[in-house]
Amino acid sequence: MPSWPVSELEQLRSVYEPLAQSVRRLIDVSIRTRADAMTVKSVIDKINGAADELASAPMRDGSFGLEHTTEGQPMVWGNVVMGVRNPVALPLDVQHEADGTVWAEFALGCAYEGPPGHVHGGVCAMLLDHILGATAHLPGKPAYTGTLTLRYLRGTRLDRPLRAHAHVDRVEGSKTFAVGHIADADGVTVEAEGVFIHPKGAR
């Protein structure tokens, strides 16, 4: 039996995912540091050196978009919520159950702060848009947000274990009605409902 080949997807991921991970750590410490002016200046020089090295290599003109390996495997790696190559993304590891429910477990660090010590309400909205939308997304059949309504029950703390959950309430033609929430150990912090639409061309 031949050894299982490392796919192009796995090979690319092994190169670029650690890059995003290193930038995520840098984002975190750059917000939290109290380093003095001389240290910060030295660090900026190092960061600029790293960015210059990347910028002098071949680069996409625009965003990452949706790319495929030469084997046809899709890569949505630039996505701001779930992109493994996007340092702004957690990235959210979205789990799909057989019954159509979708969930993710995560914690949000200081880069996602709004009110002191708390997750920005807009970050909760962003994550809920994504995870409710994920109930409607199908391979090759994207769904776009039509409407999204959020109810904030109480603050969501930074650096605590959180769980987001969504399921389909009903489907009417091209519209998927989804509901969901973010919860911590004490219960739900933000509720959401949304309508997600499959554009006609994609059906």
Task: Give the footprint of its own copies on residues 125-154 (CB under 8 A).
Answer: 125-130, 133, 142, 144-152
Pick one of 6, 7, 10, 66: the residue that binds its own copies (CB under 8 A).
Answer: 66
Quick check: 18 binds its own copies (CB under 8 A)?
yes
Pick one of 1, 63, 72, 185: the residue that binds its own copies (CB under 8 A).
Answer: 63
Q: Is the Cβ–Cβ distance between 115 and 155 less than 8 Å? A: yes
CB of 135 to its own copies, least distance (A): 14
CB of 100 to its own copies, least distance (A): 20
Task: Give the footprint of its own copies on residues 82-101 (CB under 8 A).
Answer: 83, 85-88
Pick one of 40, 68, 105, 141: the residue that binds its own copies (CB under 8 A).
Answer: 40
Is the bond into 91 cis (omega within 30 degrees of 0)? Answer: yes
- CA torsion, ordered 128, 129, 133, 139, to nearest 10 deg: -110
Q: H-helix or E-strand containing 45?
A: helix 37-55
Q: H-helix or E-strand containing 43?
A: helix 37-55
Task: Give the footprint of its own copies on residues 158-197 (CB under 8 A).
Answer: 158-159
CB of 72 to its own copies, least distance (A): 16
Quick check: 34 binds its own copies (CB under 8 A)?
yes
Secondary structure class of 166 (helix, strand, coil): strand
Q: H-helix or E-strand containing 14?
A: helix 8-32
Pick one of 6, 7, 10, 48: the residue that binds its own copies (CB under 8 A).
Answer: 48
**Quick one: CA dihedral 148, 90, 162, 112, positive or negative?**
negative
Residue 25, both tokens: 């750590």
